């Protein structure tokens, strides 16, 4: 018996040591480039000029640098169409993205400098662009294991080259969980709103409030969760007749809020909701004010409801710092 205990203890110790020796996840490493490494990344990016021009003359829109994962993609792609519909021919975007953790703020930073994984070359898309000092906005998609320093490394570099830049972090939204199939709409909404409130207090407040204090007036959140849950509630209330389900995968529906319980539907048009949130946050006005521009293949009434839901989420979320007390659809000014 004692021999068995010794063998078991030895096995447990060996396993624990093996775990301890495992390298940290690639996207959580911290890398602080030297001046020479930063200059090399800028030079390489200027030479290769991936993803289009590094500079655009300032026009009637904003020049936006974007990172993110698959939950950011709906906003990034639809924002271009929305800005065009709003007549912003000076609106420009440049992005460096990836799936899942490879699209997190820190992962993109590591990829830019070739520090992502051994054998993966540097891919400086945003670093040389930042160095021009001619971009107005930078955005990221939040990720589970984010730390404040994953953002400060970007913010400090951006402000060094353009002190007027501002920054936005896109939040996530509740998943449509498998167990929801057996719950009533009221139970589902209650669970989603509880998760929403919990994330606000347990994740977003401790993660982003320190950044707000470090960079006063520079950082805001894009409140996707509030708008998505709002439309789910509207669907359950029978107010979105163009949708036939909440989640297409679990229900077999063809036009829903979700396509797979997490990602938003590609067929219903709801991906434009995220674009409207980006537009409302970055331009600080309601997308409902955009006239004579309804996206192709999206019913006008559904489009109107998405625009209203986006602005409602923006003015009611504590980390957007946008008020519209007079209800004119434009951010109040002091």
Interval 173-192 mean pLDDT: 96
How far is CA 284 from each of CA 10, 248, 310, rounded to the nearest angstrom? 61, 33, 12
- Residue 24 banded pLDDT, cuts 50, 70, 90: low
Angle subtended by helix axes 148-161 and 105-113, to nearest 10? 60
At 296 the pLDDT is 87
Flag the least confident range among 2-6, 90-94, 276-280. Answer: 2-6
HSE value, Cβ hemisphere, 13 Å, CA-based, for 255:
13
pLDDT at 23 over 60: no
Q: Bridge partners of 264?
A: 258
Q: Are 276 and 322 in contact (CB under 8 A)?
A: no
Higher-confidence residue of 159 and 23: namely 159
pLDDT at 20 over 50: no
Note the pLDDT tens digit of each residue in 269-316: 999 999 999 999 999 999 999 998 889 889 999 999 999 999 999 999
The 3-state secondary structure of the chain reads CHHHHHHHHHHHHHHHHHHHHCCCCHHHCCCCCCHHHHHHHHHHHHHHCCCCCCCCCCCCCCEEEEEECCCCHHHHHHHHHHHHHCCCCCCEEEEEECCHHHHCHHHHHHHHHCCCCCCCCCCCCCHHHHCCCCCCEEEEECCCCCCHHHHHHHHHHHHHHCCCCEEEEECCCCCCCHHHHHCCHHHHHHHHHHHHHHHHHHHHHHHHHHHHHHCCCCEEEECHHHHHHHHHHHHHCCCCCCCCCCEHHHHCCCCCCECCCCCECCCCCCHHHHHHHHHHHHHCECHHHCCCCCCCCCCHHHHHHHHHHHHHHHHHCCCCCCCCCCCCCECCCC
The 3-state secondary structure of 316-332 reads HCCCCCCCCCCCCCECC
- Residue 28 banded pLDDT, cuts 50, 70, 90: confident
Residues 6+ apart with CB under 8 A from 285: 329, 330, 331
Average pLDDT along the chain = 90
Q: Look up tokens 């030479």; give the residue.
A: 47
Can you read off the two tokens belonging to residue 148? 């404040």
At 4 the pLDDT is 36
- DSSP β-ladder status, 92-97 and 63-68: parallel
Cα separation, 83 vs 61, whole angstroms = 8
Note the pLDDT tens digit of each residue in 45-67: 888 666 678 888 888 999 999 99
Structure pTM? 0.90
Can you read off the two tokens belonging to residue 105? 């703020």
- Residue 201 banded pLDDT, cuts 50, 70, 90: confident
Cα separation, 175 vs 180, whole angstroms = 10
- DSSP β-ladder status, 166-170 and 63-68: unpaired
Highest mean pLDDT among 7-16, 51-60, 195-204, 269-278: 269-278
- Residue 21 banded pLDDT, cuts 50, 70, 90: very low
Domains detected in the chain = 37-170 (3.40.50), 172-334 (no CATH)
pLDDT at 165 over 50: yes
At 48 the pLDDT is 67
At 228 the pLDDT is 98
């Amino acid at each position: 018996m004692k021999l068995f205990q010794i063998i078991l203890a030895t096995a447990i110790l060996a396993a624990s040591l093996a775990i301890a020796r495992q390298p940290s996840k690639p996207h959580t490493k911290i890398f602080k480039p030297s001046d020479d490494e930063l200059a090399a990344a800028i030079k390489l990016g200027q030479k290769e000029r991936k993803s289009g021009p590094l500079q655009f003359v300032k026009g009637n829109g904003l020049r936006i640098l974007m990172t993110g994962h698959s939950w950011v993609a709906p906003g990034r792609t639809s924002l271009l169409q929305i800005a065009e519909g709003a007549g912003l021919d000076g609106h420009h975007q440049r992005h460096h993205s990836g799936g899942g953790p490879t699209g997190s703020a820190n992962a993109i930073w590591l990829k830019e400098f070739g520090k992502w994984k051994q054998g993966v070359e540097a891919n400086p898309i945003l670093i040389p662009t930042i160095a021009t000092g001619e971009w107005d906005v930078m955005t990221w998609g939040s990720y589970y294991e984010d730390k404040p320093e994953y953002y400060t490394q970007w913010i400090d570099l951006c402000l060094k080259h353009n002190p007027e830049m501002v920054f936005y972090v896109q939040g996530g939204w509740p998943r449509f969980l498998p167990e929801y199939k057996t719950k009533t709409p009221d139970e589902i909404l209650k669970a989603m709103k509880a998760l929403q409130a919990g994330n606000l207090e347990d994740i977003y407040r401790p993660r982003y409030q320190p950044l707000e204090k470090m960079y006063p007036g520079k950082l805001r959140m894009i409140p996707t969760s509030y708008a998505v849950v709002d439309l789910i509630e509207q669907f359950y209330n029978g107010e979105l007749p163009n949708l036939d389900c909440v989640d297409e995968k679990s229900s077999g529906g063809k036009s829903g809020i979700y396509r797979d319980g997490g990602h938003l539907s590609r067929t219903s048009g709801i991906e434009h909701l995220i674009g409207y949130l980006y537009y409302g946050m970055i331009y600080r006005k309601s997308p409902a004010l955009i006239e004579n521009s309804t996206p192709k293949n999206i019913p006008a009434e559904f489009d109107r409801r998405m625009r209203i839901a986006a602005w409602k989420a923006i003015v009611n979320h504590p980390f957007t710092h946008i008020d519209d007390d007079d209800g004119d659809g434009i951010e109040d000014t002091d």
